Structure 1
Amino acid sequence: MAGMTVIECAGSPLEMGRAHGEQARPVVRRALEAWREVTAPSGVAGLLTGSPLLGTVRRLRPELADELRGIAEGAGVPFEDVAAYNWMDEGWWMRRRHLREHGCSVVGGQPAGGPYLAQNMDLPAFMDGSQLVLRLRPQDGPEQVVLTSAGLLALTGVNAAGVAVCVNTLDMLSGDPYGLPVAAVIRGVLARRDRAAAVAFLRGVDHASGQHYAVGDASGIESLECSAAGAVPVPLREGRLIHTNHPLASDDLDAGALDRLRETGSVRDSENRLRFLDAALRPDGTPGEAETALADDTVPICVPGVPEWPTRTFGSVVYELGGTPRARIRPGLPGRAQWLEPGWAG
Structure 2
Amino acid sequence: MAQAITPFPFVSVSGTPYERGRQYGAGLRDRVVASARLYGKTLDELGYDSVGKTRLIKRFATQIEGFGAHYLEEMRGVADGSGVAFEDIVMINARTEVIAQARREKDAGIAEVPDPDDGCTGAVIMPERSVTGALIHGQNWDWRAECAETAIVLRVRRDDGPDFLTFVEAGGLARCGLNAAGVAITANYLESERDFTQTGVPLSLIRRKVLEQEHFALAMRAVATTPKTCSNNMMLSTVQGFAIDFECAPDEAFPVYPSDGLIVHANHWTSPVALAKLRDTGIPSVPESFYRDWRVRKLLSEAGGKLGPDDLKAALFDTFGTPYSVCRPPRPGSGGNLSATVSMVIMEPANGTMEVAPLPALNRSFTRYSLTEDPVTLAAF
If the length of structure 1 is used for normalisation, what is the TM-score?
A: 0.89
Kindly provide the amino acid, as one letter, of the partner of residue 340 in structure 1.
T
CA shift for structure 1 position 192:
0.9
Tell me if the contact between 2:234 and 2:248 (Cα under 8 Å) persists in the aligned partners.
yes
Residues 43 and 220 of structure 1: CA distance in aligned 2, closer, same or farther (over 3 Å): farther
Greater radius of gyration (CA): 2
2:250 maps to 228
Q: Contact 2:31–2:170 at 8 Å: present in 1 too?
A: yes
State the match for 1:179 in structure 2: 200
Corresponding residue number in structure 1 for 2:270: 248
Equivalent in 339, 342, 345 of residue 366 of structure 2: 339
Most deviating of 32-41 and 60-69: 32-41
The reply on whether 1:168 has 2:188 as its aligned counterpart is yes
Q: What is residue 285 of structure 2 aligned with on the other side?
A: 266
CA distances 1:45-81 after superposition (whole Å, capped 9, x unpaired): 8398346322121011111111111111111111111
CA distance in 2, matches of 1:130, 1:230: 32
Q: Work out whether residues 58 and 87 of structure 2, in 8 Å CA contact, stay in contact via their aligned partners in 1.
A: no
Q: What 5-or-longer segments of structure 1 have no aligned partner?
A: none
Identity of aligned residues (%): 24
Structure 2 Cα separation of the partners of residues 305 and 334 of structure 1? 8
Q: Which residue of 1 aligns with 2:82?
A: 75
Residue 379 of structure 2 aligns with which residue? none
Using a 3 Å threshold, how does the CA distance of structure 1 residues 127 and 39 change in structure 2: closer, same or farther?
Answer: farther
> Does the CA contact (< 8 Å) of 2:139 and 2:346 recur in 1?
yes
| Structure 2 residue corresponding to 1:312, chosen from 335, 340, 364 | 340
Query: 1:35·1:126 contact (CA, 8 Å) conserved in 2?
Result: no
Q: Does the alignment pair 1:295 with 2:317?
A: yes
Contact 2:328–2:361 (CA under 8 A) maintained in structure 1: no
8 Å Cα contact 1:172-1:253 kept in structure 2: no
Against the structure 1 CA distance between its residues 149 and 38, is the aligned structure 2 distance closer, same or farther, given a 3 Å change threshold? same
- Between 1:52-61 and 1:300-309, the stretch displaced more is 300-309
CA distance in 1, matches of 2:235, 2:275: 18
Check the 8 A contact 1:318/1:329 in 2, yes or no.
yes
- Letter matched to residue 191 of structure 2: D
Aligned match of 2:119 = 103
Distance in 2 between residues matched to 1:241 and 1:136, nearest whole Å: 28
Instruction: Please give the secondary structure, in 2, of the residue aligned with 1:342.
Output: strand
Question: After the TM superposition, which residues 46-125 of structure 1 pair with which residues of structure 2 at under 5 Å, given as runs?
Answer: 46=53, 49-50=56-57, 52-91=59-98, 93-94=100-101, 95=103, 96=112, 98-110=114-126, 111-112=129-130, 113-125=133-145
Query: Is the contact between residue 60 and residue 98 of structure 2 (CA under 8 Å) also seen in structure 1?
Result: no
C-alpha distance in 2 between matches for 1:33 and 1:337: 28
Distance 1:150 1:296, change over 3 A: same
Q: Which whole-Å CA distance do the structure 2 matches of 1:87 and 1:288 have between them?
A: 34
Equivalent-residue separation in structure 1 for 2:58 and 2:328 (angstroms): 32
Tell me the CA shift for residue 30 of structure 1: 1.7
Pairwise CA distance, 1:85 = 1.9
Counting matched residue pairs gives: 340
Alpha-carbon shift at residue 181 of structure 1 (Å) = 0.7
**Hey, what's the Cα distance between the residues in 2 that align with 1:10 and 1:68?**
14
Question: Using a 3 Å threshold, how does the CA distance of structure 1 residues 235 and 43 change in structure 2: closer, same or farther?
Answer: farther
1:154 alignment partner, SS class: coil
Of 24, 27, 48, the match for 1:23: 27
Shift of the 148–99 alpha-carbon distance from structure 1 to 2, 3 Å rule, reads: closer
SS in 2 for 1:312: strand
Deviates more, 1:228-237 or 1:209-218: 228-237
Shift of 1:13: 0.8
| Matches of 2:172 and 2:55, distance apart in 1 | 15
Indicate the residue corresponding to 1:278 in structure 2.
297
Residues 329 and 341, structure 2, Cα contact 8 Å, conserved in 1: yes
Q: TM-score, normalised by structure 2?
A: 0.81
Cα 1:47–1:303 change in 2 (3 A) is farther
Distance apart, 1:302 and its partner CA: 1.2
Give a deviation string over 1:230-279, Cα, whole Å, max 9, x none: 22101323221111111112249775x81xx44xx424211121221221
Distance verdict in 2 for CA 1:320–1:3, change over 3 Å: closer
Q: Which moved more, 1:189-198 or 1:44-53?
A: 44-53
Q: Report the alpha carbon displacement of residue 340 of structure 1 after superposing the two structures with TM.
A: 1.6
The answer to whether the aligner puts 1:148 opposite 2:148 as a matched pair is no
For residues 79 and 346 of structure 2, the distance between their equivalents in structure 1, rounded to whole angstroms, comes to 30
d(CA) in 2 for partners of 1:341 and 1:220?
Answer: 24
Q: CA RMSD in A?
A: 2.6
Matched, 1:215 2:242: no
